[in-house]
Amino acid sequence: MGGAIGSDENNTTPGCVVKPDATTADRANEIITDNVKLNTGQVYAARTVVAVGKGMNVRHRGIAIALAVAMQESSLNPLAVNGRSTGLFQQQGELYASVVKTDPVEASAAFYRVLVERVSNYDDTRRDFADVAQIVQRAGAGAEPYRRWEKWATTLEAVLYDGAPRQAPNAVECTPGVGGPGAVKVLRQGQTIELPREAGRPGANTLTFPNELTAKAAEAALSQLGVTYAWGGGNASGPTKGIRDGGEGDKHGDFNKVGFDCSGLMIYAFAQVAITLPHYSGAQLKAARTVTNWDDRVPGDLLFWGDPIHHVALYLGFINGTPLMVEAQKSGTTVHVTPVRVDGDFRRNAVGRMWG
């Protein structure tokens, strides 16, 4: 499976799905702690982890441990890549050489096989939850990062277990149009997009782009709504683990999160239409085919802030008289749609067009 956007009439990002009923999905979000709210794709990924565990007769605590590890390692994103580490559980090395690590079904099954092999009594509560996770993962950071997710994962597993059908590892249905990175459902017909409800702009919100290329790039960016900001994160395949910045990002722990920064989101969006961008907002302006000004903007253009440039966002067009953009703004936020900020250090004369 990949993150590329298809061309069917009502396409969305592809992926594997164990469809949740609406009630179960709502209950899952009601219990999220640590200021974390799962987006649609994360719920699908979590339910796949649970369904595969049930199919392999893994006991409740083992499934909760898997959820905690997947949340810590990838923010429940099956396509997360960080160097050689890939997928929900950031698996790597000879042990996982035959596993399609970006397939949440295969990745989950592989995790459970290692869990049972290395810690046969994983369900014994006398064994520390985080220590069991570390024995499976053998992560350089040790057991502590998994500890913060114990209560969260245990509660989420209890909510999802009865709602997720019992599935053998090869029985989770994979179809185009559901799941995938971010997995927000975005309806596109040619050059028009319906702004998804996750954008937080209620009402009829149709966006029209100058061509299908820009509509597909915007569709890709919007599919990531709700994905965590991580400084230095994001590439052509989707969210990646952030890096240290020696400042605000480090204070928010971005180096230990999987997500996008502002330019990483643009890299992903335009990679889906075979346009390669560098990972720095200033360099992205230099990579533009055309640089114009705010008065001549069209949907699909890139907007920039600062001198030197420090931020970039994708312009979406007007809804109800308000110019909107999609962005990964800063540490502590998620990918979101917001009105264009035309004050402060907004660069009115630096609107980048990546096509034409």
Domain boundary (175, 209, 237) is at: 175
What is the C-alpha separation between 121 and 125, in angstroms, rounded?
9
Among 20-29, 69-78, 324-333, the range scoring the smallest mean pLDDT is 20-29
Q: What is the band of 257 on the pLDDT scale with cuts at 50, 70, 90?
A: confident
Is the pLDDT score of 158 beyond 50? yes
d(CA 186, CA 178): 10
> Cβ-count burial of 253 within 10 angstroms (0-12 exposed, 13-18 middle, 19+ buried)?
middle
Rounded CA-CA distance 346/323 in Å is: 14
181 pLDDT tier (thresholds 50, 70, 90): very low
User: What residue has token string 């990918």?
Assistant: 335
According to the model, what pLDDT value does residue 36 have?
59
The answer to whether residue 253 is domain-embedded is yes
Rounded to 5 degrees, φ, ψ at 107 are -65, -40
For residues 49 and 165, state if they share a domain: yes
Tell me the whole-structure pTM to 2 decimals: 0.60
The answer on 331 and 233 residing in a single domain is yes
Contacts of 256 (CB under 8 A, 6+ apart): 141, 145, 241, 242
User: Of 122, 140, 175, which residue is a domain's last?
Assistant: 175
pLDDT at 344: 94
Q: At residue 309, what is the residue type? A: I
Residue 44 clears pLDDT 90, i.e. is over it: no
Output the pLDDT for position 37. Answer: 66
- Domain limits at 89? 15-175
Identify the CA nearest to 64 among candidates 111, 17, 15, 126: 111
Residue 181 lies in a domain: no
Neighbours of 217 (CB within 10 A): 26
CB 200 within 8 A of CB 226: no
6 part of a folded domain: no
For 235, the token pair is 């590439």
Whether residues 70 and 205 fall in one domain: no
Cα separation, 158 vs 154, in Å, equals: 6
The verdict on residue 2 lying in a domain is no
State whether 152 and 198 are in the same domain.
Answer: no
Which amino acid is residue 74, in one-letter code?
S
Do 157 and 215 fall into the same domain? no
310 catalytic per annotation: no
Asked if 327 is an active-site residue, the reply is: yes
| pLDDT per residue as tens digits for the range 182-204 | 468 889 999 999 999 889 887 77
Asked if 170 and 235 sit in the same domain, the reply is no
CB contact at 8 A, 275 and 243 = no
Of 122, 150, 175, which one is at a domain's C-terminal end? Answer: 175
**Does residue 107 or residue 257 have the better pLDDT?**
107
328 closest CA partner among 318, 341, 337? 337
Note whether 39 and 147 are same-domain residues.
Answer: yes
One domain for residues 164 and 29: yes
Higher pLDDT, 149 or 79: 149
Number of folded domains that form the chain: 2
Is position 227 within any domain? yes
How far is it, in rounded angstroms, from Cα 147 to Cα 163?
Answer: 25
Question: What's the token pair of residue 156?
Answer: 């989420």
Q: Do 285 and 328 fall into the same domain? A: yes
Mean pLDDT to the nearest integer, 127-150: 93
Catalytic residue among 106, 198, 262, 336: 262
Q: Is the pLDDT of residue 175 over 70?
A: no
Average pLDDT for 282-294: 96
Q: Kindly state whether residue 80 falls inside one of the protein's structural domains.
A: yes
Give the active site residue among 106, 198, 219, 311.
311
Indicate which CATH number applies to the domain containing 108: 1.10.530
pLDDT tens, position by position, 208-244: 999 999 999 999 999 998 888 999 998 887 888 888 8
Chain-centre distance for alpha carbon 98: 24
Choosing from 73, 157, 198, 327, the catalytic residue is 327
In this structure, what token pair is assigned to residue 167? Answer: 């599935």
Sequence-distant (≥ 6) Cβ neighbours of residue 351 within 8 angstroms: 291, 292, 293, 294, 296, 297, 301, 302, 303, 304, 315
Q: Which of 14, 34, 13 is nearest to 156 (CA)?
A: 34
